[in-house]
Amino acid sequence: MLESIKVTERLHWPEVEMSKKYILNSTDTPLSPSQVYLERISSSILKDLFSTGSSSYNLLLQAEEEEWERPKKSLFKRPKTAARSGTSPGKRSQRGLALKKTHAQEGGGKSAQRSNSNFSKTAQGIAVVGSKMGLTPRTTPQLRKMCNPNSPHAKLPTLHKAAIAGEGENGKRLCILTAIKPSNVEKEKAKFFKSDFCYNPQFEYSNPVSAPVLARHNNASDRFLTQAVHIMELALQRYGSYEKFEQVTGGNLLTKSRIWHNVKKYMEKEGCVGEIVVQVTDDLLSRASMTVVNSRPTLTINISTAREHWLEGMLRHEIGTHYFRGMNNCHQPWSSSAGRKKHNLKPLNPTEEGLASIHSVLFRKDPTLWRAALLYYTVYQASHMSFSQLFHNLGRFVQDPNTRWDYCVRAKRGQTDTAQPGCFSKDQVYLDGILKILRYRDKINFPLLMALGKVSFEDVDRLKAVAQTENLRIPHFMQDQARYAEQLKKIMAVNGLTDDELKTIV
């Protein structure tokens, strides 16, 4: 139905949908009428909430001299049962917790006090919806509002003005990741493996992207290549191989039932049970993606990579970062493309993906930034190598041929003749964003960065004066800012990064 918001990282779609879906509710009874049901929001508006998900990253291409306006009229509808709930808009809005005023310390010289009243560098007057942030404890969990249509601050959950990469046969607008998804991946994979990894796949596309558009995304950088290689070499020194690193740090693969159990447990922490559809599949190139399917926010999890010690990090990435920042963005005056232009906002990436990627490894015993580093490295090498050459080059870091194939396809998608050098450079955004955030971590107001929605960390200070501060979502893992800061330092140390080094490259 909506070509531009399907799970765009799937490079092969089965003829019959084999995945299972499950809506995680806290009880078997219908949700509270005080909760806004997402299916009431127009899918054309809702889809932009997840336009930068870690795996979907629906970067819509700028069409030549064509822009289209979003509807100015709100598409929210008041739930029919709201009038019978006996809860007035004023009372519901009081559920937000007012954060006490604090003073940011320049450079992070002092640690935040671990108490129920303060955390470092927090925005003044933010009314938080969701789990507590070092504030007055909640005695009972509640279903939380998302975008309250009765709130005077409610905004449509839109981002910047979208543009198209092209149109499919049915005239629907396509995002770039849909357009560059090869239609013959499995066929070419069989040929490649049969050739003893010497054949260069010839990819086909249902809706090919024009050469000028592909050229704009064939701009690999070597700015952080040294750091990417160093991160992976440190991991190999500790574990011997990527496969060993994956087993030791990731743990065992999870069954579908355990995945659903852990996802529900995480949603209970964040106060968002019942808001997101969970879909489990083995037909996803990435580890997970947050998209919109049938007008509902949908978290798709790759069961073949869902490991016991990594799953919560993935949920912090997809729900705690992308989903919450998307919902917070709908309250802000820059939720529309016109608003972003009015406030002269910088691109939300690499901040969005960098922050999400940091949260993926936050609190791990070994927060090695392996995946971000390997994606960065693979894209750069792809810009100078054929598919076959790239595959053999990655053998330096990854032994498993199926894993190497997946990384090569990600870097070479969009190309028809992969014997030619070339890349799709999107995957470099993760390490790029991580290193920039770590470079300025002592000056970034992280709770405010989350509360302001889809904005760059560079815009936070100037936007806080005009930001809406009610009904915002802050993830539970940000409640202790001192511990959060300690984890950032740990990420630096484990990955062999120093402040002096970052100052020279960022």
Q: Supply the residues annotated as catalytic.
A: 318
Measured from the Cβ of residue 29, the count of other Cβ atoms closer than 10 Å reads: 7
Burial 142-180 (b: 16+ CB within 10 A, else e): ebbbbbbbbbebbbbbbbbbbbbbbeeeeeebbbbbbbb
CA nearest neighbour of 304 among 259, 345, 341, 261: 259
DSSP 496: T
Measured between alpha carbons, how far is residue 345 from residues 45, 52, 71, 158, 162 in Å? Answer: 20, 16, 21, 14, 15
Q: Which residue has the tokens 């970034």?
A: 444
Q: Which residue has the tokens 């320049």?
A: 106
CA nearest neighbour of 11 among 217, 175, 183, 166: 183
CA nearest neighbour of 346 among 459, 442, 486, 253: 459
Measured from the Cβ of residue 32, the count of other Cβ atoms closer than 10 Å reads: 17
Token couple for 276: 């997101």
Measured between alpha carbons, how far is residue 133 from residues 115, 221, 225, 323 in Å? Answer: 10, 38, 37, 18
Per DSSP bridges, beta strands 20-23 and 97-98 are unpaired
Count how many residues are written for the chain: 506
Instruction: Say how far residue 220 (Cα) sits from the centre of its chain.
Output: 21
Virtual torsion, Cα 172, 177, 183, 184, nearest 10 deg = 180
Tell me the torsion sign for CA atoms 137, 475, 6, 408: negative
Token couple for 405: 């194939």
